[in-house]
Amino acid sequence: MQPDELIESLRTNRLLAIVRGTDPDAALDTVLTLFGGGVRLVEVSLTTPGALGVIERARAVLGPDAALGAGTVLTPADARDAAAAGAAFAVTPGVTAALDRAREAGLPVVAGAVTPTEVALALTEGAAAVKLFPASLGGPAYLKALSDPFPAAHFVPVGGVDARAAAEFLAAGALAVGVGGPLVGTAARPGGDAELPARIAQFLRLVEEQPCSTS
């Protein structure tokens, strides 16, 4: 996936689902349920046990074109291994050494940042988009404030983004929102979560109601 393809997918779909769990098989089922329910961008956090195997198995099922990425990419080794497992993009919690390695491996990066200095550094280091994390610290008003000095930045708020906050961030100019627990629930843990399909439908309706105004 090229950086402009990731940006276009974020702009079109407006929802990045974050799978972070405790069971590899449940995490795989969650990824497949998300895609099957209509979510088109999914990241698997590398904090999930067996995350690389989850990505590899999901890629085998979903095919080469699915926008399946790796999250919580911290180190150059993480970036290398994520690319080898079949990740199409990488998401980092901050501006780390993984950013350069991910780009070298052909993975566009959504790099975590929260301060103006970190946003500037993420953009300088070639991030395709900026993961505003944790987004709950400043909320939509903070996103608007950051957008003034960084009008060309593509912001994806993550962290504490429930359905209400997602709508507010999108209305405030976010390119997309990253949603973990409020969407995935306990689906990626043993026992699963029978309410996941209903929440998928809820979030997809929500993002469809928020037309994207970013360029």
Give long-range contacts, CB 8 A cutoff, 24+ apart: 142-149: 143/169, 143/172, 143/173, 143/174, 144/172, 144/173, 146/116, 146/119, 147/173, 149/116
In 152-180, which positions are buried (b, 16+ CB within 10 angstroms) versus exposed (e)? ebbbbbbbbbebebbbbbbebbbbbbbbb
Among the options 43, 118, 144, 209, which is catalytic? 43
Per-residue three-class SS string for 194-215: CCHHHHHHHHHHHHHCCCCCCC
Token pair recorded at residue 194: 């029978």
Among the options 5, 56, 125, 131, which is catalytic? 131
Q: Are strands 67-71 and 41-45 parallel, antiparallel or unpaired?
A: parallel
Q: How far apart are CA 121 and CA 124, in angstroms?
A: 5
Residue 97 — φ and ψ, nearest 5°? -65, -15
Query: Catalytic site residue 131?
Result: yes
Token pair recorded at residue 70: 């790796």
Query: Catalytic site residue 43?
Result: yes
- Active site residue ranges: 43, 131
